[in-house]
Structure formats: structure tokens, C-alpha cells
Structure 1
Amino acid sequence: MRVSLMLAAAAALLSSPALAQSADQPLPDPNDRSDTFTVGGGAGIIPDYEGSNDYMFIPVGFARGRVSGFDFFTRATWLYVDLIKRGEGQTDFDLGPIAGVRLNRRKNVDDEFVDRLPTLDAAIEVGGFAGVSFHGLTNPYDSLSFRVDVLHDVGGAHKSTLITPTVDFGTPLSRTTYVGASFSMEWAGGGYANYYYSITPTEALASGLPAYDADGGLKHWRLGLIANQSLTGDLTGGLSLFGAGGYTKLTGDFKDSPIVDLRGSSSQWFGALGLAYTW
């Protein structure tokens, strides 16, 4: 299952004076490009499947960092690597590969009707992203990013393409507190819609759900929030506590599929809480 920990932030009320509260500590250089690494783990709650109204607890984890000026980060079960180094100006361009696995397998779910449908294979997806980021809008350390992800299944599951434009904003409130928010929309091809949301006549007989033929299109829009609180006094190093949550709204043929319309919900919630450590 996807654990979409959407990183980014609260808004225009966030300004540089918050960083000045720790005047006894030298402020880090906002253009510092030295190597860094953060790893985090905890527990999350997500729907049983994409469109379910039953929820389950799962372990969650993430990593992000920089090596020789190149940034990398994970989002849910996908790894991103930015091949363009950040410069010293306020505008950066982002471009790089994505690889990961989609685990929306619909296996051992609580709903007895959906559980009678065939278990789906994990999808191995590769692709890329491109975007632009702006820094220093409210303080020297914030970031407003516009990005488009393109992923295609190469593992033989849904055999389709997904396109996801995303807007992220994130900023520190002080040396110990970071907040962020993101908004995204996702378009899915016909193969994806058919694999995850269609029900064949044979499957209808086995499950008791009506047959359904789903077409591709706009799959969902999503809002995500995150907060990160240092437990050792500085977000640039040491132990921190993170929390994330969000809301997804399925649309179109995805919303109208019997596994959503009759047995689930087009409104999807997720949340996660855990610890992270930065070197």
C-alpha cells in the first residue's frame, strides 16, 4: 500500500524572525551543500486498498539526503534522485529518475466482497520528474516547488502510465520546528484503471459485486501536511519527531467503481508518526 507522506507546509505567516529566536547560535548557511543524510521510521494508518473505507496500521519509513551536491529522497515506496545540483540563487531546476513499487494489492482486506476479488501483483514503476523550486520567499530557508512526476509500470501489472503534478511548500519556524504542505493531482492511464478498478463478469460472479469497466483519467487530488520537531535542539542534526497526514479524493471512473462507490469511500485519509535522525 502507498504511504503517501507528502512533505511541505503552512503558509505566508511563516517568516524569518522565527529563526532569530536562537540568536545565541549561528544560523546555518542557506546555500550550504555539504553532505547530509536523514532516515526515519514509525507507524502509519492507511486504507486497506485505494478506495477502501476500512483502515489498517503499517510500518512506515523514509530517507533523504545529499551526496556530492546531489539530492535524493523517498516518497512512500518510490526513490527520487535529483541530477541537477542546487546553485546559490533563489531558483533551482529539478530533474531526475524515479523508481519504486506499488503495493496496492487488495489482499486480505476487511471487506468480504472485495476480498473475493483476485489478489493483484505489485507494480514495478520507473520514470522521472522535472520541476522548479524557489527559495527565500518568506525566509532564507523556505522552498516552494512545482514538480511533475511520470511513472510507468515495467513489471507487467497495470502496464500503464501515471502523471502527477505537485506543488510543495516547506519552511522552518525555528531551528527546532519545520512544517510543510503539498497539493497534487494524479492522472492514470486506462491500464491502471482497468487493473485496479474494473470488475470482469467472472469476478462479479465470484464477489457479488456488479461488473464494471473503468476508463483512465483524473484519478484523484490530494492534500498533505507534515511537521518535524527536533528533540535534540537543531533540525540540521540529531533526533527529531515527525508527524504527517493527508486527505485524498478519488474522482471519475475510479470513484464510481463498485469497490469504492458500493464497498468503500472516495474520501481517503492517511497519517503517520515516528522518529527521524539526521547526520
Structure 2
Amino acid sequence: MHHRCRLSAAFAVAAICLAPSAFAQQEDRSSLTIGVGVAAAPSYEGSDDYRVLPIPQLRGKVKDFAFWTRGPGLYVDAIPNSDPDGVDFELGPVVNVRFDRSSRRNIKDDAVRLLGKRDIAVEVGGFVGIGKTGVITSAYDNLSARVAVTRDVAGAHGSYVITPAVEYMTPLSQTAFVGLGVSADYVGRKYGRYYYDVDPAGAAASGLPAYGGAGDGSGFKKVNFSLAGGKSLSGDLRHGWAIFAAASYSRILGDYAASPIVSVAGSRNQWIGAIGVGYTF
């Protein structure tokens, strides 16, 4: 299984696109996996209300150059994965679209809905990382670490997001795999101000207390732990149909957890669960 899937909180949903098979790393070929599923996720980041949403996903490999979607984000690895010793250096662009609180009808909490919707953010940047295949359990398991850095260019939060992540994947057989991941989000001052602060006008409209602590500086917003697995329906994860499931737990941290949209109207504990089906060509 190609290891470049992202197993983090938005990102348990990407498990439906976890790649064809670890054995595919030994082949010089192109592939395409298309997935679709459903996820139960918080109605906004920090919410304790949940909603069900569809999750289309896509990943592929062309001449050892990989691309994949991660929720509403697109990643392209510009360095080919062709090292015979299983070492993979990663470097490439990232484009992510953030829809958090961009639609009032998707916010279930009445007070947070009265704070008003947020503009859609378009976050553009890049990532760098390194992975190694054949580490612990077999010649096909993979351990990788990477950092993605993006900045909003659409004038929404107007800040940056830095996401370090460490992931481990191992095939259980030619028909099944499991993966684990841990990641964190470090955000800029404007991000905290835009999504977590409550100004006096917002406090008057919503009944929530005014709060300005999240916009005082940059910091780690949350840490995430995730688990994913998949099972082939055709006898080989490299080809045909497969089913996937994933779950993640995120903990909102520090001044962001102290925001009234979390501490009063929501919860610092965030869960995501997803199931889906994918087809590999």
C-alpha cells in the first residue's frame, strides 16, 4: 500500500482512499483509486454536535509521482517514489479549502450560529517529508514523517497552518491493512482570532461571553490520533473494490479550548468516524 495517505483528524475521512496495497510499491506502474463514503464529524471545529456528510476521495500514481486528496485538500508529491531501498523523500504543493462555519445551516448550536458564518478559506502551500518501507513487521510496512505548511490566500482567516504528522501503516495480508497516525496543527494569530475569538458584538448577538485569548498569539491548536483499516472485496488491494473504515480523536488545546465556542457551546474532545468503498484501476 502506498503510504502517503494522511491519517489525521480531518482525515480519518481520507481512509477510504488508503492506497491499493503495500505490494504496489514494488511495481513500476500507474494507478488510480476512487473512493466514496460517509463520515460522522463535528458540525464545526470545537462542536459537540455531529452531522453526517459525504466524502468523495481520489488518489493516484503516474510514473511514481503520487497525488491524493485529503478531505477538501489536494497534495502532489513532485519527487518520484523509486528508491530500491524503500526510502521515499516527499516534496510538493498543497491546496486546501476550509469550509468551517461557512454555512449557518451546518452549525447546529444556536449560539454559535448567531455569531455568523465565516468565509471559505483557500490555503496554499507545500509539504516535505520522508518515509521508509520495510521497517518493523515486514518488507511492506511503512513509517513516515512530514510537515505541511499552508497560508490562506482567499482573505478569510488570512493566516497560516503548520501540520507535522507521523504515520505508520502495515499490511495484514494481500487483502487487508491497518494504519495509525498522530498529527498536530500549529496556527497563526489571525487564525485563532477568526475562528475562536468572540468580539463584543458577537457576544451580544449570541449570548456567549466575549473572548480574545485565541487571537493573542500563534500556538498549537489541536493534536490528533487516528486509526484506519481496509479490506479488499476482490482478493487483492491493488485492484478492484475494497471497503475502508477509519476513526480519529482530536483534542483542542490551550487558548483555543478556552474559547466559548468550545468551552461553553462545544467540547475540546473531537471525534470523527468514517466508512467507505473504493475502486482501484
Compute the TM-score of the two structures, normalised by the length of structure 2.
Answer: 0.89
Moved more, 101-110 or 70-79: 101-110
* Conserved? CA contact 1:165–1:184, under 8 Å: yes
Matches within 5 A, 1:227-238: 227-238=229-240
Return the index of the structure with the highest Cα Rg. 1
Matches within 5 A, 1:149-228: 149-213=148-212, 214-215=214-215, 216-228=218-230
**Off by >3 Å, runs of 4+ in structure 1:** 27-30
Q: Which residue of 1 aligns with 2:54?
A: 59
- Find the aligned partners of 1:239 and 1:6 in 2 and give their Cα distance: 17
Q: In the alignment, is the contact (CA less than 8 A) between 2:99 and 2:120 conserved in 1? A: yes
Measured after TM superposition, the shift of residue 31 of structure 1 is 2.4
Give the Cα–Cα distance (whole angstroms) in 2 for the partners of residues 140 and 220 of structure 1: 33
User: Secondary structure at 2:272's aligned position in 1?
Assistant: strand
Aligned twin of 1:96: 92
What is the aligned partner in structure 2 of residue 133 from structure 1? 131
SS at match of 2:205: helix
Question: Counterpart of 2:38?
Answer: 43
- SS at the partner of 1:254? helix
Counterpart in the other structure of 2:247: 245
Partner-residue secondary structure (3-state), 1:34? coil
Long gaps (5+) in structure 2 = 1-8, 16-20
Q: Specify every segment of 5 or more residues in structure 1 that has no aligned partner in the other structure, as ranges.
A: 9-18, 20-26
Percent of paired sites with the same residue: 43
Query: Taking structure 1 as reference, are residues 31 and 150 closer, same or farther at Cα in structure 2, changes over 3 Å only?
Result: same
Name the CA distance, whole Å, in 1 between partners of 2:24 and 2:154: 43
- The answer to whether the 8 A contact 2:24-2:238 is kept is no
In structure 2, relative to structure 1, the CA distance for the partners of 1:29 and 1:244 (3 Å cut) is closer
1:3 Cα shift?
Answer: 3.7
Cα drift, residue 5 of structure 1: 2.1
* Offset at residue 151 of structure 1 (A): 0.9
Q: Spell out, residue by residue over 1:221-260, the C-alpha distance to the aligned partner (whole angstroms, 9 max, x if none).
A: 0001111100111000000000011100000111000000
- Output the amino acid matched with 1:211: A
**Structure 2 counterpart SS, 1:159:** coil
Question: Partner letter of residue 96 of structure 2?
Answer: G
2:65–2:80 Cα contact (<8 Å) kept:
yes
Contact 2:95–2:125 (CA under 8 A) maintained in structure 1:
yes
Which has the larger helix fraction?
2
Q: Number of residues paired by the alignment?
A: 261
Q: Deviations over 1:77-108 (max 9, x none)?
A: 11110011112122121100000200102522
Q: Take 2:241 and 2:266, find their aligned partners in 1: how far apart are those partners?
A: 38
Alignment match of 1:82 (pick from 77, 81, 90)? 77
CA contact (8 A) 1:7 1:226 kept: no
Q: Over the residues paired in the alignment, what is the CA RMSD in angstroms?
A: 1.7
